[in-house]
Structure 1
Amino acid sequence: MRKTVSIAFLFVSAAIAEQAQAAPASVLGKSVVVNWTEDRQQKVVGEETMRNVSRSAEFSVYISDKGRPFSRMRYSFSNMRGGLRTGNRDKVGGEGGGNRNVSFSGNTMNVTMRMGDGGARNIVVNLAGDSCSAQVIAGKAQGASHIRTKSMITGNQLEVLSIKTSGASCSVRSGNVFGN
């Protein structure tokens, strides 16, 4: 199922997240991994041609025994020569300001991430013991013509005209996916 949405919804989600609770005991010392595909219409700033691109996305979060989240956002794609290109950004607990917020309400984990200027992404994970389901929504600000952001893969400044998510899947894993 493909989703696009006004960024207003995402800011409401962020406001709700501020009233969030502690992580449920069932996820302490575990990792949650969400995968999806993003189809975008985008261009590099300064270029004229919009391109349709597809990126694999993965959000991983380890919840420590004390309930502190350690997270990584990763993108990847296969280039024309068949090589895999990847890029990622890590965040520890509350470090790094408001670019990424992980919060809990009962058995629901809510992740809100800003996407440069004019965009945001929201991941809602319903936790059920050792399994989960996820929904990923991305959007631009109401009235905005595009999202301006920096590519995690190339480092280029991008203008994203549209973004659609699909194929969200989720898994809960014992231990720390980051290897510690």
Structure 2
Amino acid sequence: MQGWTTRLAVALLVLPVMASSGTSAAPAPLRGISVDLSWTDNRTEKFLDTGEERPGYQTSQVQLYISDQGRFFSRFNRVAKGNNNRLVNSAVSGEGKSVLNWRFEGRSVAADQRFAGSGARRIVVSFGDDASSCSLRVIHGKEGSAPIRYPGLTSRRPIELIRIEVTNTSCQVRQGNVFGQ
């Protein structure tokens, strides 16, 4: 019986620390800020239904708000080859596998997003000491030797990514909630 009560007492002491770890992991300078991110993906894509390879590009913009409690809210806006091919994902981090799932990594924040087919995108935002400046790195990866495949942004045609280069990265920090609430 004594072993059981000791384990229970330790669990009750550890539980508040575990429950607050999400908010305490947020460095103070990163709380209550908004971050505007943008980049361009220059791509060579292969349409699997025809075998045709084409160059293309996609511009991406992310608006990110880190609340005073350390929660992430983001809007991911992607446009491929013109305004008629637009997709917007707005969500609280962790709500669904197609949205950006943000987390703290020291003085950086990172998000991973699995593609609908195979492969993934990783976004890393690194902040200066006072969090008034930032830099952006976007990485695309595949699972082992499997090719990166996904349905087209709006055509939903099956595509294999042959080549991708991220250019024109931009990162800006501002105080307050970008979503105005």
- CA–CA distance in 1 between the matches of 2:46 and 2:178? 33
In 2 relative to 1, CA 150–96 (structure 1 residues): closer, same or farther, beyond 3 Å? same
Q: Distance in 2 between matches of 1:112 and 1:84?
A: 26
Distance, in Å, in 2 between the alignment partners of 1:71 and 1:84 is 22
1:120-159 pair list within 5 angstroms: 120-128=120-128, 129-144=131-146, 146-159=147-160
Match of 1:168 in 2: 169
Q: Work out whether residues 150 and 159 of structure 2, in 8 Å CA contact, stay in contact via their aligned partners in 1.
A: yes
Identify the structure with the greater strand proportion: 1
Cα deviation for residue 119 of structure 1 reads: 0.9
What's 2:112 paired with?
A: 112
Determine which of 61, 66, 73 is the counterpart of 1:63: 66
By relative contact order (CA 8 Å, sep 6+), the higher-ranking structure is: 1
SS at match of 2:136: strand
Q: Work out whether 1:33 is the aligned partner of 2:48.
A: no
Q: More helix by proportion, 1 or 2? A: 2
Rounded Cα–Cα distance in structure 2 between residues aligned with 1:52 and 1:85:
16
Whether 1:49 and 2:49 are equivalent positions in the alignment is: no
Residues 97/118 of structure 1: CA separation in 2 closer, same or farther (3 Å cut): closer
**Structure 2 CA distance, aligned partners of 1:97 and 1:42?**
23
Structure 1, unaligned runs of 5 or more = 1-18
Whole-angstrom distance in 2 between the partners of 1:70 and 1:155:
27
The answer for the alignment partner of 1:3 in structure 2 is none
Shift of 1:85: 4.0
Match of 2:8 in 1: none
Shift of 1:38: 0.4
Q: Which structure has the bigger radius of gyration?
A: 2
Structure 1 residues 179 and 154: CA distance shift in structure 2, 3 A: farther
Q: Give 1:91-106 correspondences, 5 Å limit.
A: 91-97=91-97, 100-106=100-106
Corresponding residue for residue 13 of structure 1 = none
C-alpha displacement at 1:132, in angstroms?
0.5
Identical aligned pairs, as a percentage? 35
TM-score relative to the length of structure 2: 0.74
Contact 1:138 1:165 in 2 (8 A): no
CA-CA distance at 1:133 after TM superposition = 0.8
